[in-house]
Structure 1
């Protein structure tokens, strides 16, 4: 058995897995359309994207036809296959596996290009995570414009490219192009380190996405601007990160030995997600938000339900039921950083960087989207 595993090329195995999944989905949809496409692919993946892209409460597929409803009662009474925007347990697990698959692809690309990746490369990857969250918010703004005027900023199905799970592929392809060009610039002697042009490319893309949101907020009534949400979220996340750093340095310094100050990015990213969720879900009236947001992730819903069941109703009315999300996110990030000791970073620096990227992405990515949605009222 050991000899068999020794003969398997991981890169080829990854390519076979990707090709196998694509082939299975294609053949299954052709041979068993009702069981595979309707009840699986459409219900859990394409249906939610279509509903989101069309600004509907749900999309209903029946006898091959799709109908979009803007009323929750119509969705509840629909007789076909109902798909709502957001995430289910199945789609959440699937997207997590997709993220792992994409990260494995990045790892093989880094190995093939023989890229010298250190833990400090996370600084260059940081703006790319911000870009992913901002790009997803552009689609939210497009839907808001569709609801207000009947004309979206980006028509469906083109918006599918910036809705989960397809946005992962979009950002992945752009990052592959950028990192390949950046490595070429380094080896051609045009730059000292590939991280600089790569990070700059991510920063430019993030600013373009953010600029699009600002443009829509200035030129349309469908997109607003609430500076208070942005300031409180960033300030709160920064204070929480500083507190976490101070406490770990004082009482548990082993946490920061491996990653050093780079770990601050990870904690800050998850703190952004925590504060953005609390403000959006429990303090929307106090901040004058345009919408009453609902949790789209099963973890958020679970924390809300658990807090509501344990916490006295009077306390819930006063401070809400999502506040535990902040300490949960911060503590989880700190615990993950504790795993990245000197040994791991020295023996497998490329692998460690990609794992840190994954940890950062699952916090800062949705956190960026949440805070920008609330800030621009979409």
Structure 2
């Protein structure tokens, strides 16, 4: 569908964005029970509220919110009930919002005439690590709540770093850094915006990891198990190095489009896969005080299927999460293969944005899983 002649796509996107917010606010005010309680709170804010307070569920009734901490209490509660996590409605809604926001980013990059390059791709790499680390701050916060020692970050401020709102927080932070560094570069304050953009992300990452290590050193609730991070990072680096060497030697066409950027994709998804294996199957051997479980549908299915078809003695020896790691690595290599030179030549902005999103999907959760296990929370 083409826009009417003379209509600026960026202005049309902005009008749709503002119109959507206005429509939602008006609907919530005019029909609070149906729009706010029954939809916005139930599927979006309620799950975050319950998650932030370490509750089994949150219940909305008569304009008031109550947090409950047992399944039986949640089952007997009267009112609109929300539990931590995603539902089909919220997942579909977030997917649509993500696509809409990616279109907005694409239009903004076009408006700013940002030249997509390997340097731009690498400059955004620290932000993916930062997003995962920031999510662990909320995990520490939730651990403090469970131990009845208060909150590091009070509610509702902590909601900004709880999934899915953390994605909007990271989007806003990254966008501000991008626009700010481009502005300075075009005023000749900076020679190029990419190094400054990377520096901002690296600084945010360093501050966040530093804060986590400080809490670990000063609190008996949060531990420190560096072997986890060492195994994950070294393992992912070995996998990515082996991929680059093997592909360059025997199948260079795989990296024809992405070049060394493809190695980063494989590295990021290897971090996610290895961190999952260590957390699910090797937590006792690593001395971790927490038993982790699969939260994502694919991961959970892989673990269940492997456990049902693999001999019990083998499951006891190597665990049941290892196929997930192979799937992650294989999928990453397949994606790199798909991104051939033609894709980058025909639509470079779209190709780079999509590749960045693919890396973030693996590296963000992987960083979180790795740091959680490293801190034993």
Conserved? CA contact 2:127–2:201, under 8 Å: yes
Cα distance in 2, alignment partners of residues 271 and 106 from structure 1: 27
* Deviation, structure 1 residue 332: 1.3
Partner of 1:210: 209
Matching residue of 2:140: 141
Offset of residue 271 of structure 1:
0.9
* Native 8 Å contact 1:120 1:262 kept in 2: no
Tell me the equivalent position of 2:186: 187
Mapped contact 1:87–1:297 kept (Cα < 8 A): no
Between the aligned partners of 1:207 and 1:67, the Cα distance in structure 2 is 37
Q: How many residues align?
A: 377
Q: Could you tell me which residue of structure 2 aligns to residue 130 of structure 1? A: 129
Shift of 1:319: 2.5
In structure 1, distance between residues paired with 2:332 and 2:214: 34
Shift of the 302–187 alpha-carbon distance from structure 1 to 2, 3 Å rule, reads same
Q: Which has the higher contact order (CA 8 A, sep 6+)?
A: 1
- CA distance in structure 2 between the partners assigned to 1:294 and 1:74 by the alignment: 23
> RMSD between aligned alpha carbons?
2.3
Which stretch shifts more, 23-32 or 340-349?
23-32
Cα distance change, pair 63–301 in 1 and its aligned pair in 2 (3 A)? farther
- Distance across 1 between alignment mates of 2:61 and 2:336: 48
Shift of 1:197: 0.3
Contact 1:87 1:298 in 2 (8 A): no
In structure 1, list runs of 5 or more residues that go unmatched.
none
2:344 is matched with which residue? 345
Map of 2:176 onto structure 1: 177
Shift of 1:136: 1.0
Aligned to 1:276: 275
Looking at structure 2, the residues matched to 335 and 164 of structure 1 have their Cα atoms a distance apart, in angstroms, of 28
Q: Which residue number corresponds to residue 252 of structure 2?
A: 253
Q: Work out whether residues 232 and 271 of structure 2, in 8 Å CA contact, stay in contact via their aligned partners in 1.
A: yes
Q: Contact 1:86 / 1:297 at 8 angstroms: preserved in 2?
A: no
Deviation string, structure 1 residues 153-208 (Cα, Å, up to 9, x no partner): 10110001111222122112221221122112222323322100000000000001
SS at match of 1:55: coil
Residue 38 of structure 1 aligns with which residue?
Answer: 37
Please name the residue that 2:242 is paired with: 243
Matches of 1:233 and 1:335 in 2, distance apart? 22
Q: How does 1:194-233 map to 2 (within 5 A)?
A: 194-233=193-232
CA distance in 2 between partners of 1:303 and 1:333 (Å)? 17
Q: How far apart are residue 239 of structure 1 and its match?
A: 1.9
Compare 87-96 and 257-266 and name the one that shifted more.
Answer: 87-96
Contact 2:50 2:58 in 1 (8 A): yes
* Deviation digits for residues 94-147 of structure 1 (CA, Å, limit 9, x no counterpart): 333333333222222222221222133111000011111111111111221232
User: Using the alignment, how far apart are the partners of 1:38 and 1:288 within structure 2?
Assistant: 44
State the shift of 1:80 in Å.
4.1
Residues of 2 paired with 1:250 and 1:226: CA distance?
Answer: 37
Aligned to 1:183, the other structure's residue is in SS state helix
- Once residues 298 and 309 of structure 1 are traced to their aligned partners in structure 2, the CA distance between those partners, rounded to angstroms, is 16
Matched-pair contact (CA < 8 Å) for 2:302–2:321: yes
Q: Secondary structure at the match of 1:161?
A: helix
Paired with 2:238 and 2:88, the residues of 1 have a C-alpha distance of: 32
Distance 1:43 1:282, change over 3 A: farther
Answering whether residue 90 of structure 2 is matched by residue 98 of structure 1, we say: no
TM-score (norm 1): 0.91
Deviation at 1:350, TM superposition (A): 2.1
Q: CA deviation at 1:336?
A: 1.5
Post-superposition offset of 1:66? 2.4
Aligned to 2:118: 119
Contact 1:87 1:296 survives alignment (8 Å) = no
Write out aligned runs for 1:259-270 (5 A): 259-270=258-269
Q: Which runs of 5+ in 2 are unaligned?
A: none
Instruction: Decide which moves more: 270-279 or 31-40.
Output: 31-40
